[in-house]
Amino acid sequence: MTVLPRGVGFATSKVTYPGVLSLRFGHLVIRFRAEDGETPFSIEETHIPFVVPDDTPADLELSCRIGPLQLPTGPITFSAGASWDLRRDANGGEDIVFRGGANFGTDVWHLRLDPSFRTGTLTEAPVMPDRAVRADGYPLLEYIVTRLLARHDGVLIHASTAIVEGGAYVFVGHSGAGKSTMAAIAEEAGARIPTDDRTILTIQDGAAFAWGTPWHGSLIRKSPDGAPLERIYFLEKAPADRCEPLPRARAVKELFVRLIQPRLHAGEVHDTLEVLERIVERVPVAILYFRPTSAAFALAIGAKAETGPSL
Amino acid sequence: MISGSVDTVEYRRRDNYVYRLTVGEHLLVALHARSDEPLYALTPTGAQLWERLAEWMSVDQLADALVNEYELPVDEARQDVRDFLDQLASLNAVESRATTV
């Protein structure tokens, strides 16, 4: 049993990579490359499974350095409260300043994304003791991935995922809905659990896939594993187990409001909705009313043959 | 004769919402994650008005469109337009200006 009770932390240590680090999330690869060729990158050990060889073609290449931040000027396009600000220039390039420390009082990262979103720069202020760029810094990395997914046929959603016989069953819900509970039950039943909190959904070559992520949740073994998407369930605790198929239009709306998507760019919103439309065309979506028992999971993976695609 | 002018109010949608017809539903999505509600559904009539609000439009111009499309009584069409504009204004989805004609 590798699932800890919700809210129980676990100790991890940092790992460093000199000069270059490539990470894969879903079908996307992000490469962090030191401007001087030497500056190391650090990640928590939970991210190690997401490291890929540095000759893997990258969707985003970031040239990185540690040094004083040269903060952008100009009007703020969007401010996420104290934690980060976005400025977008006339040609579509973006500057994002992320803050950390007590009351988010310290400017920590300046991320510059070129208009293509294929290249950019990342500067980390010299505020960390070990002089290593935090490639997995929060919310820096999750922000980058959500923005890239929105431009590459993918979404990040509040969901756990169970892989059974090569197929992915995704359990969607906000905090407290039972994602980790269902993940624990599924793992006991022999499923692989690449994530118990945040799942990447993608459309590739006309097929839908689900992928693990390293973020949040209470699972120690986070995994980049992916599999063809079999079904999506919205979790609802109930006194008895049953499935209720969702019409496609409602499924899109229910999925959309559970995305981790900053909705910063009109084109990205259109593309995100299109991805959801394509997913619900291909994959049945239902509400799973459940009690936290193995019977509910059995219903979820067995229901595939009993109910057809959503209407 | 005293020369005079008549003030009228025109409306135009803001660019802080994205409209998309999704699986037969007219969705309006609020840009920026801090919006309290990210998603709204428009009626087909509302979607038609939203499309017209790409340009500055008066209540009468919008009402005329409904009268022509749905053969509504003009007073009813004006009221529908005003109600719709009030809802958009409450979402900060529309801007207005006074013009002199």
B11 domain-assigned:
yes
A250 is in which domain, residue-wise? 154-305
Query: Of chain B residues 42-101, which have a CB less than 8 A from chain A?
Result: none
A311 domain-assigned:
no
Range in A108-117, A221-230, A274-283 with the lowest mean pLDDT? A221-230
Cβ-Cβ pairs closer than 8 A, A with B, add up to: 52
Q: Which tokens go with B75?
A: 């007073």
Do both A282 and A268 map to the same domain?
yes
A4 domain-assigned:
no
A7 domain-assigned:
no
B20 domain-assigned:
yes
Question: What's the CATH code of the domain at B77?
Answer: 3.90.930
Q: Give the rounded percent of residues in chain A with a pLDDT score beyond 70.
A: 92
Range in A65-74, A91-100, A212-221 with the lowest mean pLDDT? A212-221
Residue A4 has pLDDT above 70, yes or no: no
Number of domains in chain A: 2
Residue A159 φ/ψ, nearest 5 degrees: -165, 145
> How far is the C-alpha of A228 from the C-alpha of A226, rounded, in Å?
7
B14 touches chain A (CB under 8 A): no
The arithmetic mean of pLDDT across residues A91-100, rounded, is: 95
Residues of chain A with Cβ-Cβ distance to B23 below 8 Å are: 248-249, 252, 277, 280
Residue A309 has pLDDT above 60, yes or no: no
Partner-chain contact A273 B30, CB within 8 Å: no
Do both A116 and A54 map to the same domain?
yes
Partner-chain contact B41 A253, CB within 8 Å: yes
What residue type is A206 in one-letter code?
G
Given a contact cutoff of 8 angstroms between Cβ atoms, the answer to whether A208 and A181 are in contact is: no
B77 domain-assigned:
yes
Partner-chain contact B34 A273, CB within 8 Å: no
* A163-207 pLDDT, tens digit each: 999 999 999 998 889 999 999 999 999 999 999 999 999 999 999
Residue ending a domain, choose from A99, A123, A151: A151
Q: Give the rounded percent of residues in chain A with a pLDDT score beyond 90.
A: 82
> How far is the C-alpha of B8 from the C-alpha of A68, rounded, in Å?
54
Note the pLDDT of residue A169. Answer: 98
> How far is the C-alpha of B29 from the C-alpha of B40, rounded, in Å?
6
Chain mean pLDDT for chain A: 91
Do both A102 and A124 map to the same domain?
yes
Contacts of A268 (CB under 8 A, 6+ apart): A147, A150, A151, A261
Residue A302 has pLDDT above 70, yes or no: yes
Residues of chain A with Cβ-Cβ distance to B18 below 8 Å are: 266, 269-270
Number of domains in chain B: 1
Do both A203 and A293 map to the same domain?
yes
Do both A147 and A168 map to the same domain?
no
In chain A, what are the helix, strand and coil shares in percent, each to the nearest 5?
20, 40, 40
Do both A183 and A201 map to the same domain?
yes
Do both A160 and A252 map to the same domain?
yes
A284 domain-assigned:
yes
Do both A217 and A200 map to the same domain?
yes
> Which residue does chain B place closest to A248, by CA atoms?
B23
B88 is in which domain, residue-wise? 7-93
Partner-chain contact A277 B29, CB within 8 Å: no
Note the pLDDT of residue A81. Answer: 86
Chain B interface test: which of A261, A263, A274, A283 (most B C-beta within 10 Å)? A263
A120 domain-assigned:
yes
Do both A79 and A131 map to the same domain?
yes
Confidence band of A76 (pLDDT split at 50, 70, 90):
very high
Partner-chain contact B39 A81, CB within 8 Å: no
A310 domain-assigned:
no
A9 domain-assigned:
no
> How far is the C-alpha of A199 from the C-alpha of A211, rounded, in Å?
6
Residue A7 has pLDDT above 50, yes or no: no
The arithmetic mean of pLDDT across residues A10-29, rounded, is: 90
B58 domain-assigned:
yes
B26 domain-assigned:
yes
B101 domain-assigned:
no
Partner-chain contact A266 B31, CB within 8 Å: yes
Partner-chain contact A256 B39, CB within 8 Å: yes
* A116-165 pLDDT, tens digit each: 999 999 999 998 888 899 999 989 999 999 999 999 999 999 999 999 99
Question: What's the CATH code of the domain at A208?
Answer: 3.90.228.20
Residue A307 has pLDDT above 50, yes or no: no
Confidence band of A291 (pLDDT split at 50, 70, 90):
very high
Residue ending a domain, choose from A151, A175, A195: A151
Do both A70 and A111 map to the same domain?
yes
* B20-59 pLDDT, tens digit each: 999 999 999 999 866 667 899 999 999 999 999 999 999 9
Do both A276 and A290 map to the same domain?
yes
B35 touches chain A (CB under 8 A): yes
Do both A263 and A126 map to the same domain?
no
Q: Is B85 in a helix, a strand, or coil?
A: helix
Residue A255 φ/ψ, nearest 5 degrees: -65, -45
B29 domain-assigned:
yes
A5 domain-assigned:
no
Residue ending a domain, choose from A129, A151, A173: A151
Does the ipTM surpass 0.95?
no
